[in-house]
Amino acid sequence: MFEGQKILPAIKKMKDFEKVLESDYTYIVMLDLHISQLVGVAKYAKEHNKKLLLHADMIQGLKSDKYAAEFLCQNLRPAGLISTRAEVLKTAKKNGLIAVQRLFLLDTIALETSYKLAEKVEPDLIEVLPGVVPELISKVQKATGISVIAGGLIENEQDIKNALDAGAHAITTSRKPLWE
């Protein structure tokens, strides 16, 4: 799905975005953006042949609902949207974008609720957080039949290896040393 790319840099700061624009990475995750930055980020990403995965729930000044998702899909055309919200994910899929459901491994109830959401929405991918629990990465993938990416609390190369060995399709990380 990501053209063999196993590390997806997760950007929190604009200076990191500028750095990744000059990298060999094609797919990048934008975590924390202000609404006023959206157009510029999308423009620069396209100019540098980068494919954005926008975390729709973390765009400051933009409500995370189907109308905001429709705006993002139609006006910015990122490669995909990441969200915990069914309407955002459905809108992404309807518009031909990659829909990534974020799943937080808090407890059994959260896991079961996420399974129900995945069954209802049928996202393209599920991002499991934290991504440092290999047995749950494989459990989520088996339970849903949906490819998993792992993120959150990935601290070192061993964490990456463990997640990939557990079946993760790719890793999202904001730790710059792991992008190298």
Consecutive 10-residue runs of the chain (180 residues): their mean pLDDT?
96 96 98 95 98 97 96 97 98 98 96 96 98 96 97 98 98 96
Give the per-residue pLDDT at 143: 96
Supply the pTM of this predicted model. 0.97
Give the per-residue pLDDT at 16: 96
For residue 102, report the phi and psi dihedrals to the nearest 5 degrees: -85, 130
151 in Cβ contact with 172 (< 8 Å): yes
Task: For each of the domains in the chain, give its residue range(s) and CATH number, in order of start.
Answer: 7-179 (3.20.20.70)
Give the per-residue pLDDT at 180: 86
Give the per-residue pLDDT at 147: 98
Give the per-residue pLDDT at 89: 98
Give the per-residue pLDDT at 85: 97
Residue 8: in which H helix or E strand, if any? strand 7-11
Residue 60: in which H helix or E strand, if any? strand 59-60
Give the per-residue pLDDT at 95: 98
